[in-house]
A and B are shown apart, each in its own frame.
Chain A
Amino acid sequence: MSAYQQWVAFCTIVVKEIRRFTRIWPQTLLPPAITMTLYFVIFGNLVGRRIGDMGGFDYMQYIVPGLIMMSVIQNSYGNVVSSFFSTKFQHSIEEMLVSPMPNYVILTGFVVGGMARGMAVGLIVSLLSLFFTDLTMQHAWITVSVVVMTSALFSLGGFLNATFARNFDDISIIPNFVLTPLTYLGGVFYSLDLLPDFWRAVTLINPIVYMVNAFRYGVLGVSDVNVYAALGAILVFVVVFYTLALWLLNRGTGIRG
């Protein structure tokens, strides 16, 4: 396939993915908007007023970046895991496998589709947060790169999950039992400074801590961790996950008998 044909094929997948999540917007775009608004109202306004400062900001301002990141993570992952799994489940993956498009185009197409949803929801949540607080952007480039890389990483995670999944249970186990706890314990709601040394050390194993803090640094200018190390680590994970996903796709794991 020529580079142009590959580009056409890539755009076809991305458009298809975007069409999918916008068509079912009550399942994809609406729920995070509602949940996050509730977080803003309850934790930010009602409870937050009693908490006072966190990391030098009022509590509402402090949690907004974390909540945006949480939306990006959950939605990038959720989009690819359910879209790729249902493509496998309905066998429409075969439409792609019979075509001459290379596997990296398939993978990149799904990942960019997931990034589109993650970032669309991130944007919706950011706009909603403006009703509750002022959102600044201290370091625009860092903010943007963290969002792009994090959504890419979790889209790849969703892809890997769907590759191994055999039934619908398999695509909800990781989001519910791994992703959600890691996100809640990932410094979305509190600064690591509040933790005793032992728990602080344990928390630093959690990769989501780095993404949330790097993003918060982009927005507020404060972070519990070294931002450039965090960015570097996310990038390394993106490369590793991408290589692994492509290797599995080339082998036909979970898709070819």
Chain B
Amino acid sequence: MSALTIRNLRKTYANGVEALKGIDLTVEKGDFFALLGPNGAGKSTTIGIVSSLVNKTSGDVSILGYDLDRERALAKQRIGVVPQEFNFGQFEKVFDIVVTQAGFYGIPARIARERAEKYLRQLGLWDKRKNQARTLSGGMKRRLMIARALVHEPDLLILDEPTAGVDIELRRSMWDFLIGLNEEGRTIILTTHYLEEAESLCRHIAIIDHGQIVENTDMKSLLEKLQVETFILDLARPVTEAPRLPGFQVRLRDAATLEVEVPKTENLNQLFVELAERDLRVMSMRNKANRLEELFVRLVEQNLPGQAAPTEEVAS
């Protein structure tokens, strides 16, 4: 049984926007999973459906084996959600917000207060417990939402851009906190714009764009994929089989066209030396369109102007 299973999930909003075009996703128990994608990709819509805040158009979702249509209350009991936008009463006090949330899950007041204290302390908000939520800083508000999401001790924690607007130092401590939760056995899914964040935390990753999953793999394979570039070479004369070139993956597209994968660490001169040695003359060459590559270019551009930088290197 997996922590989250999504089958052919579609969502068309009332205004006609097709936010999800049939996505499939499986997250195993205990995993630390990233959902990466540019603005408007459909990340929050997916999370909204999983957390019962958005009505799906079609498809199936099950959480720890509970089908969201048939056993919604049981499914809800098992997940905690930290949304992208602040969604607590601005005039409520920090402590009350967490205790009240526990009450909504049917947790009696005494236990609710103990848990609220535990998680507010862990997230460094205990000193602020009597403050109205609106007086907290952005990073504190986000931590408040994390404490609130944990108060019923869910097995699956979903965080929608948990580190947006959080400074580097705090981001580090939040990462450590999340890693700790994962080590306790909780499954964690987070969305992010930052590959670096996914890389530091997650074992598996799905990439979503325009409402479709374009990649769903483990972190290691993804990084390897990003390390190669594919070129298409038109040859002067046809060949019968793909030549073996040390250091490069070569495939025959048709008799006179080669597809060569070049690791970003290799230089192209070496490729041409190898080709020349085999008397293969290249008439033209182009870059194979790579959706993943394009997507990352877009992600990176999106992260540049004015946004909080993903890593220390970029920040300083």
Interface string of B61-79 (1 = CB under 8 A from A): 0000000000011101101
Q: A216 CA to B148 CA in the complex, in Å? A: 48
Chain A CB within 8 A of B54 CB = yes
Q: A99 CA to B74 CA in the complex, in Å? A: 10
**Shortest distance from the beta carbon of A187 to any chain B beta carbon, whole Å:** 38
Q: A252 CA to B23 CA in the complex, in Å? A: 23
A92 touches B87 (CB 8 A): yes
**Shortest distance from the beta carbon of A17 to any chain B beta carbon, whole Å:** 11
Q: Which residues of B contact A5 (CB under 8 A)?
A: 105-107
Which single residue of chain B is at the shortest CB-CB distance from A102?
Answer: B73
Q: A90 CA to B83 CA in the complex, in Å? A: 13
A98-B51, A98-B81, A256-B53 known; A1 and B73 CB under 8 Å?
yes
Chain A CB within 8 A of B14 CB = yes
Q: Which residues of B contact A19 (CB under 8 A)?
A: 96
Which single residue of chain A is at the shortest CB-CB distance from B86?
Answer: A91
Which of B73, B103, B109 meets A100, CB within 8 Å?
B73
Q: A4 CA to B51 CA in the complex, in Å? A: 23
Interface string of A178-191 (1 = CB under 8 A from B): 00000000000000
A94-B87, A99-B76 known; A257 and B103 CB under 8 Å?
no
Which of A16, A95, A101 meets B88, CB within 8 Å?
A95
B108 touches A8 (CB 8 A): yes
Which of B14, B76, B107 meets A98, CB within 8 Å?
B76
Which single residue of chain A is at the shortest CB-CB distance from B19?
Answer: A257
Q: Which residues of A contact B92 (CB under 8 A)?
A: 92
**Shortest distance from the beta carbon of A255 to any chain B beta carbon, whole Å:** 9
**Shortest distance from the beta carbon of A90 to any chain B beta carbon, whole Å:** 6
Chain A CB within 8 A of B272 CB = no
Chain B CB within 8 A of A172 CB = no
Chain A CB within 8 A of B59 CB = no
**Shortest distance from the beta carbon of B69 to any chain A beta carbon, whole Å:** 13
**Shortest distance from the beta carbon of A66 to any chain B beta carbon, whole Å:** 34
B55 touches A257 (CB 8 A): yes
A90 touches B73 (CB 8 A): no
A90 touches B89 (CB 8 A): yes
A252 touches B106 (CB 8 A): no
Would you list which residues of chain A between 4 and 52 have a CB under 8 Å from chain B?
Answer: 4-6, 8-9, 11-13, 15-16, 19, 23
Interface size on B, residues (CB 8 A): 36
Chain B CB within 8 A of A176 CB = no
Q: Which residues of A contact B96 (CB under 8 A)?
A: 16, 19
Main secondary structure of the interface of A (DSSP, over half): helix
Main secondary structure of the interface of B (DSSP, over half): loop
Q: Which residues of B contact A102 (CB under 8 A)?
A: 73
A97 touches B89 (CB 8 A): no
Chain A CB within 8 A of B2 CB = no
Q: Which residues of B contact A100 (CB under 8 A)?
A: 72-74, 76-77, 105-106
B87 touches A90 (CB 8 A): yes
Chain A CB within 8 A of B131 CB = no
B103 touches A97 (CB 8 A): no
B55 touches A99 (CB 8 A): no
Which single residue of chain A is at the shortest CB-CB distance from B90?
Answer: A90
Chain A CB within 8 A of B287 CB = no
A9-B105, A99-B105 known; A257 and B48 CB under 8 Å?
yes
Which single residue of chain B is at the shortest CB-CB distance from A23?
Answer: B91
A1-B73, A9-B106, A90-B90 known; A98 and B52 CB under 8 Å?
yes
A101 touches B54 (CB 8 A): no
Which single residue of chain B is at the shortest CB-CB distance from A2?
Answer: B106
Which single residue of chain B is at the shortest CB-CB distance from A92?
Answer: B89
Chain B CB within 8 A of A128 CB = no
Chain B CB within 8 A of A223 CB = no
Chain B CB within 8 A of A82 CB = no
Chain B CB within 8 A of A145 CB = no
B104 touches A95 (CB 8 A): yes
Interface string of B139-174 (1 = CB under 8 A from A): 000000000100010000000000000000000000
Q: A257 CA to B100 CA in the complex, in Å? A: 24
The 30 sampled A-B contact pairs (Cβ below 8 Å) are A1-B106, A8-B103, A8-B106, A8-B107, A9-B105, A12-B100, A12-B103, A13-B103, A16-B100, A92-B92, A94-B83, A94-B87, A95-B88, A95-B100, A95-B101, A95-B104, A95-B148, A98-B51, A99-B101, A100-B72, A100-B74, A100-B77, A100-B105, A101-B106, A252-B55, A256-B54, A257-B13, A257-B14, A257-B48, A257-B53
Sorted from nearest, which 10 A-B pairs have the closest CB atoms? A5-B106, A12-B103, A91-B87, A99-B104, A100-B73, A100-B76, A92-B89, A8-B106, A94-B87, A257-B54
A residues neighboring B (CB under 8 Å) = 1-2, 4-6, 8-9, 11-13, 15-16, 19, 23, 86-87, 90-92, 94-102, 252, 256-257
Beyond contacts A12-B100, A16-B96, A95-B148: 9 other A-B pairs, Cβ-Cβ < 8 A, are A5-B105, A8-B103, A8-B108, A12-B103, A15-B103, A95-B88, A100-B76, A257-B48, A257-B54
